[in-house]
Amino acid sequence: MSAGTDVTTADERILQTSPLRKLLGRPELGSVVGAIAVFVFFAFFADSFLQAASLSTVLYAASTIGIMAVPVALLMIGGEFDLSAGVMVTSSALVSSMFSYQMTANVWVGVGVSLLVTLVIGAFNGFMLTRTELPSFIITLGTFLMLTGLNLGFTKLIDGTVSTKSIADMEGFPSARDVFASTITVGGVGFKVTILWWLALVAVASWILLRTRAGNWIFAVGGNKDAARAVGVPVTRTKIGLYMGVGFGAWISGQHLLFSYDVVQSGEGVGNELIYIIAAVIGGCLITGGYGSAVGSAVGAFIFGMTSKGIVFAEWNPDWFKFFLGAMLLLATLLNAWVRKRAEATK
Amino acid sequence: MARFRTWVGIALAGALSVSLAGCSSTGGKRAEDARKAASAQGQAAVNTPRWTFAMITHSGDGDTFWDIVQSGAEQAAVKDNINFLYSHDDEAQQQAQLVNAAIDKKVDGIIVTLAKPDAMKSALDRARKAGIPVITVNSGSEESKAFGALTHVGQDETIAGEAVGEELNERGREQALCVLHEQGNVGHEQRCDGVEKTFDGKVQRLYVNGTSMPDVQSAIEAKLQTDKAVDAVVTLGAPYADTAVKAKQGAGSEAEIDTFDLNAKVAAGLADGTLGFAVDQQPYLQGYEAVDLLWLNKYNADVLGGGRPVLTGPQIITKDDAAALSEYTERGTR
């Protein structure tokens, strides 16, 4: 082989890749294949699954998980996770409700205070993590337990019972309900507004990840923290920001909880943090960080919504509910991993 | 740092001014204060020695039902001049340890639930040997006497379910959905078993994730969409009734929503007709009576019911009773 014909083996960094290969390299690809498989499965086994009304129910279930899965996915790409995310949603609803009630304030004031509180909790997680350098498992487990106790303790102390008082007759409630918990009717089928919140969050998070400098920072701190710091990435600021993002998601979910049920039970939310993490993992986020996407988390939440409600649509024996759920999730994740492996092999 | 402080100052000042300006002229704390302006604080009605009673339940954290039981027990304790100690754990083994701790503390009486009787047997034996009177409440009516308790105060879950089944028959329902918010809870299964026993129609069970209201709602909604024949939904806890109403609206179903247990929203739902009926086991009474019966036993060696269970329910509550109860549900004693 002479040197003159060697033009095709140019620098691999500027190698042209075909659109198909690019698609195969996307983190959410495996989960999309998984989602299609789950969809076809239930379309086949559950008669009512394909109705528009059923789709709206599935989307609602997916959106309530998805709203939290987006910031949780971003956090995982940044190399950390948050065990306090589930109860933080309840905290957000409780703060909002009790502040408005006790101060006899317009409920929008409570909504604002709640945003402040959730952002502070997120910042606290991030600050503790970066300051102490302890694993996020320990830090957020501590926050999880503290929030669980605070939710109960404060509610009991202030309201005298374990649930909040109704704020449905207070000023500002109707408009807040429109924003956080209304139903939009399209062609005779009602869709919950949380679906819009969810899509908006996915869009914003995708833009941040793929088009901004902060997005590069998130991938960098998740990939290799020390290397990232060495090239000038503000690691501390990025991680605190990511935890505050989870706080923001918890705020939206919490307000939805409050304004759709107008009374909040203080013991709720425990266990949901795992569901958010599962959705992000199914969506292609690596638990070790540095890899994943916001769209993937949405697909993961959608798979979760389809599975949990599909079992009901299919009218299977409910004794086996959790088993079916677990098996479906495992299958979806395996399929996801397999597709990703194939995709990487063809690179 | 100085700039940071300035920002915090501005944020606080902003929050304060917004909350001052943004007052609600309807509802809220001020309205509640106005309502209960004339409520008096309780005080002891007897001058017996200040005995100490311990109550140990199998309640999870933040359970509305147990909160009401506790409030009944506390009010009886105030009246009877009792030093009242409350603890709970939903793990049977932990609950037994709490009972042992109370025995070590040499309390004058113990109130305990027997949700998982086997785990509690040895602790109750110890109490009997130590000469501490025990009253069982809520669950365990069958084991209570065998374990040496004075008496049992509570409702038989199966009987409560049977009452629901009969009420559904009377209302001409044909397909009922029993919504369980805790998979593996024996009491929940017994309630649904009871419904199945007396209800002439078909009973289906639906398990939902009780710690997530949106999940409860979408699961019931999915079930109602897929099975149009369901004409009655029975929830096993008061907070889930309102969620079932939302699910029914979402699914465009005509089913009647009924529930076990009461709270303020259930009372309101019964009054305006969005709920059919509620079956109440009067948790306040379970706490109140248990403390009172222990006191009577200490003071006067009384045993109510001759050692047989004292039933606190089931009481079927419909639209007609709801209005009278709303005041009590508001304050958390019904």
Task: State ipTM.
Answer: 0.78
Does B31 reach chain A within 8 Å, measured CB to CB? yes
Q: Kindly determine whether residue A257 and residue B214, on different chains, have CB atoms separated by under 8 Å.
A: yes
Residue B20: pLDDT over 60: no
Cβ count within 10 A of residue B315: 17
Is pLDDT at A1 greater than 50 in this prediction? no
B26–A contact, CB cutoff 8 A: yes
Distance CA A35, CA A301 (A): 10
- Rounded to 5 degrees, φ, ψ at B146 are -60, -30
Instruction: List, as ranges, residues 247-266 from B with C-beta within 8 Å of A.
Output: 250-252, 263-265
B28 chain-A contacts, CB cut-off 8 A: 100-105, 167, 170
For A134, phi and psi rounded to 5 degrees? -75, 160
Work out the widest C-alpha separation in chain B, in whole angstroms: 74
Alpha carbon dihedral A251, A252, A258, A261, in 10-degree steps, equals -150
User: Which residues face B260 on adjacent strands?
Assistant: B279
pLDDT at B45: 83
- pLDDT tens profile A281-309: 888 888 788 888 999 999 999 998 998 88
Per residue in B202-246, pLDDT (tens digit) is 999 998 888 889 999 999 999 999 999 999 999 999 999 999 999
Chain segment A66-88, per-residue pLDDT in tens: 999 999 999 999 999 999 999 99
- Size of the A and B interface in Cβ pairs below 8 Å: 172
Which pLDDT value is given to residue A239?
Answer: 95
Question: Rounded CA gap, A70 and A73, in Å?
Answer: 5
Length of chain A: 347
Q: What are the helix (H) ranges across chain A?
A: 19-24, 29-45, 52-77, 85-103, 107-132, 136-159, 173-181, 194-211, 213-223, 225-230, 235-261, 272-282, 294-313, 321-345
Confidence label for B161 from pLDDT (cuts 50, 70 and 90): very high
Tell me the sheet residues that pair with A75: none
DSSP string, A224-279: -HHHHHHTT--HHHHHHHHHHHHHHHHHHHHHHHHHHHSS-BTTTTTTHHHHHHHH
Residue A145 contacts B where some CB pair is shorter than 8 Å: no
Cα–Cα dist A93/A151, whole Å: 10
Tell me the CB-side half-sphere exposure of residue B211, using CA atoms within 13 A: 18
| Mean pLDDT computed over B237-261 | 93
CA atoms within 13 A on the CB side of A2: 2
Identify the top-confidence range among A5-9, A23-27, A203-207, B277-281: A203-207
Q: Which residue of chain A has the CA closest to B241? A: A261
A318: its two tokens: 């409910």
Please check the confidence at residue B39 and state whether its pLDDT lies above 70.
no
Q: How many CA atoms lie within 13 A of A68 on its CB side?
A: 32
The predicted-structure confidence for A12-55, as pLDDT tens digits, reads as follows 666 666 777 777 777 788 788 889 988 999 999 888 888 888 89
User: Does the pLDDT of residue A256 top 70, yes or no?
Assistant: yes
- Assess whether pLDDT exceeds 70 at residue A2: no
What does the alpha-carbon distance between residue A37 and residue A137 come to, in Å, rounded to a whole number? 33
Query: Parallel, antiparallel, or unpaired for β B278-280 and B315-317?
Result: antiparallel
d(CA B138, CA B117): 12
* Antiparallel, parallel or unpaired: β B278-280 and B202-207: unpaired
Q: Does A175 contact B at CB distance below 8 Å?
A: no
**CB-based contact B211 A270, cutoff 8 Å:** yes
- Which residues between 296 and 325 in chain A have a beta carbon less than 8 angstroms from any beta carbon of chain B? 305, 308-309, 312-313, 315, 318, 321-322
pTM (2 decimals)? 0.82
Cβ-Cβ contacts under 8 Å, B213 against chain A: 257, 260-261, 265, 268
Using CB atoms, which residue from B27, B211, B250 is nearest to A169?
B27
Helices A194-211, A235-261: axis angle to 10 degrees equals: 170
Q: Higher pLDDT residue, B92 or A319?
A: B92
B97 pLDDT higher than 50: yes
3-state secondary structure of A7: coil
A198 token code pair: 């969810």
Q: Write down how long chain B is.
A: 334
**CB contact residues (below 8 A), chain A span 240-259, against chain B:** 256-257
Q: C-alpha angle A6/A9/A11, rounded to 5°?
A: 125
CB atoms within 10 A of CB A113: 20
How far is the C-alpha of A34 from the C-alpha of B255, rounded, in Å? 35
Q: What is the pLDDT of residues A104-148, one digit of tens each?
A: 999 999 999 999 999 999 999 999 999 999 999 999 999 999 999
- For residue B16, pLDDT beyond 60: no
d(CA A68, CA A87) in angstroms, rounded, equals 12
Q: Where residue B188 falls among pLDDT bands split at 50, 70, 90?
A: confident
**Rg from Cα positions in chain B:** 23
**Residue B1: its pLDDT value, please?**
46
Mean pLDDT over A322-330 rounds to 78
